[in-house]
Copies of this chain bind each other. A is one copy, B any other.
Amino acid sequence: MLTPAEIADARAYAIAAMTDAGVVLTAAEQADLEVSDFGLGDLTRTGLQLVVYVNTDRVCAKEMVLRPGQTCPEHVHVGAGDELGKEETFRVRAGEVWLYVEGDPTSAPRAVAPRPEHYTAWHEIVLRPGDQHTIMPGTKHWFQAGPTGAVVTEFSTRSTDERDVFTDPDIRRITVVADD
Contact = CB atoms under 8 A, between A and B. Distances in A.
A15 interface: no
Contacts of A89: 53-54, 59, 61
A126 interface: no
A59 B56 CA distance: 12
A89 to B, nearest CB: 5
B134 A54 contact: yes
Contacts of A157: 58-59
Interface stretch (A21-29, A114-122, A161-169): A21-29
A100 to B, nearest CB: 20
A132 interface: yes
Copies of this protein, total:
2
Which of under 10, 10 to 19, 20 to 34, or 35 or more describes the interface residues of A? 20 to 34
Interface in A76-112: 84, 87-89, 91, 93
B132 A24 contact: no
Given A53-B91, A156-B59, A24 B130 contact: yes
Nearest to A128: B24
A134 to B, nearest CB: 6
Interface of A: 21-26, 29, 53-54, 56, 58-61, 84, 87-89, 91, 93, 129-132, 134, 153, 155-157
Q: Which 6 A-B pairs have the closest CB atoms?
A: A22-B22, A61-B155, A24-B129, A24-B130, A26-B130, A54-B89
